[in-house]
Structure 1
Amino acid sequence: MSTSKSPSESLVVLDGSRGEGGGQILRTALSLSLLTGRPFRIVKIRANRDKPGLRPQHLKAVEAAALLGRADLLGAEVGSRDLVFRPGRVEPRDLAIDIGTAGSTGLVLQTLHLPLAMRAETACRVVLTGGTFNPKAPAYLFLEQTWRGHLANLGMPVALAMPSAGFYPRGGGRLEAWIEPARPRAWVRTTRGDLLRIRGVAGSANLREDVARRMRERALARLADEGWNVDVEIEAASWPSPGQGAAIALTAEHAGSAPATFVGLGERGKPAERVADEAVDELLDFLGVPDGAVDPHSADQILLPLALADGRSVYTVSRVTEHLRTNAATIGAFLDREIEVEESVAPDQPGRVVVA
Structure 2
Amino acid sequence: MSSSKPESERLVTLDGSHGEGGGQILRTALTLSLLTGRPFRIVKLRANRDKPGLRPQHLKAVEAAALLGGADLLGAEVGSRDLVFRPGAVAPRDLTIDIGTAGSTGLVLQTLHLPLAMRAETAARVVLTGGTFNPKAPAFPFLDQTWREHLANLGTPIALAMPSAGFYPRGGGRLEAWIEPAKPSPWVRTTRGDLLRIRGVAGAANLREDVVRRLRDRALSRIADEGWNVDVEIEAASWPSPGQGAAISLTAVHAGSAPATFVGLGERGKPAELVADEAVDELLDFLGVPDGAVDPHSADQILLPLALAEGRSVYTVSRVTEHLRTNADTIRAFLPREIEIEEAVSPDQPGRVIVA
- Please give the range of the TM-score, normalised by the shorter of the 2 chains: over 0.9
Report the identity percentage.
89
The question of 1:163 aligning with 2:163 is answered: yes
Query: How far 1:48 sits from its partner (Å)?
Result: 1.8
Aligned to 1:340: 340
Aligned to 1:90: 90
Query: Are the equivalent residues in 1 in contact too, given 2:25–2:330 (CA < 8 A)?
Result: yes
> CA 1:169 to 1:30, structure 2 compared with 1: closer, same or farther past 3 Å?
same
Aligned to 1:24: 24
Aligned to 1:254: 254
Aligned to 2:119: 119
Spell out, residue by residue over 1:151-195, the C-alpha distance to the aligned partner (whole angstroms, 9 max, x if none).
Answer: 000011100000000000000000000000000000000001000
Aligned to 1:11: 11
Spell out, residue by residue over 1:45-90, the C-alpha distance to the aligned partner (whole angstroms, 9 max, x if none).
Answer: 0112111100000000000000000000000000000000000000
The question of 1:312 aligning with 2:320 is answered: no
Which amino acid in the other structure matches residue 260 of structure 2? A
Measured in 1, the distance between the counterparts of 2:91 and 2:9 equals 23
Q: Secondary structure of the residue that 1:253 maps to in structure 2?
A: strand
- 1:1-356 alignment to 2 at 5 Å? 7-356=7-356
Query: How far 1:6 sits from its partner (Å)?
Result: 5.2
Q: Secondary structure of the residue that 1:216 maps to in structure 2?
A: helix
Query: Are the equivalent residues in 1 in contact too, given 2:166–2:243 (CA < 8 A)?
Result: yes
Query: How far 1:9 sits from its partner (Å)?
Result: 4.5
Query: How far 1:272 sits from its partner (Å)?
Result: 0.4
Q: Secondary structure of the residue that 2:136 maps to in structure 1?
A: coil
Query: Are the equivalent residues in 2 in contact too, given 1:187–1:312 (CA < 8 A)?
Result: yes
Query: How far 1:225 sits from its partner (Å)?
Result: 0.4
Query: How far 1:228 sits from its partner (Å)?
Result: 1.1
Spell out, residue by residue over 1:232-273, the C-alpha distance to the aligned partner (whole angstroms, 9 max, x if none).
Answer: 000000000000000000000000000000000000000000
Query: Are the equivalent residues in 2 in contact too, given 1:131–1:171 (CA < 8 A)?
Result: yes
> CA 1:94 to 1:347, structure 2 compared with 1: closer, same or farther past 3 Å?
same
Larger deviation, residues 225-234 vs 70-79: 225-234
Measured in 2, the distance between the counterparts of 1:355 and 1:344 equals 17
Measured in 1, the distance between the counterparts of 2:51 and 2:279 equals 27
Q: What CA RMSD, in Å, does the superposition of the two structures yield over aligned residues?
A: 0.8
Query: Are the equivalent residues in 2 in contact too, given 1:248–1:276 (CA < 8 A)?
Result: yes
Which amino acid in the other structure matches residue 167 of structure 1? F
Query: Are the equivalent residues in 2 in contact too, given 1:7–1:37 (CA < 8 A)?
Result: no
Structure 2 unpaired stretches of 5+: none
Larger deviation, residues 223-232 vs 311-320: 223-232
Q: Secondary structure of the residue that 1:199 maps to in structure 2?
A: strand
Query: Are the equivalent residues in 1 in contact too, given 2:20–2:48 (CA < 8 A)?
Result: no
Query: How far 1:8 sits from its partner (Å)?
Result: 3.7
Measured in 2, the distance between the counterparts of 1:86 and 1:200 equals 43
Query: Are the equivalent residues in 2 in contact too, given 1:15–1:43 (CA < 8 A)?
Result: yes
Measured in 1, the distance between the counterparts of 2:54 and 2:9 equals 26
Structure 1 unpaired stretches of 5+: none
TM-score by length of 2: 0.98
Q: Secondary structure of the residue that 1:14 maps to in structure 2?
A: strand
Measured in 1, the distance between the counterparts of 2:131 and 2:166 equals 4
Query: Are the equivalent residues in 1 in contact too, given 2:9–2:37 (CA < 8 A)?
Result: no
Measured in 2, the distance between the counterparts of 1:227 and 1:248 equals 21
Measured in 2, the distance between the counterparts of 1:220 and 1:47 equals 39
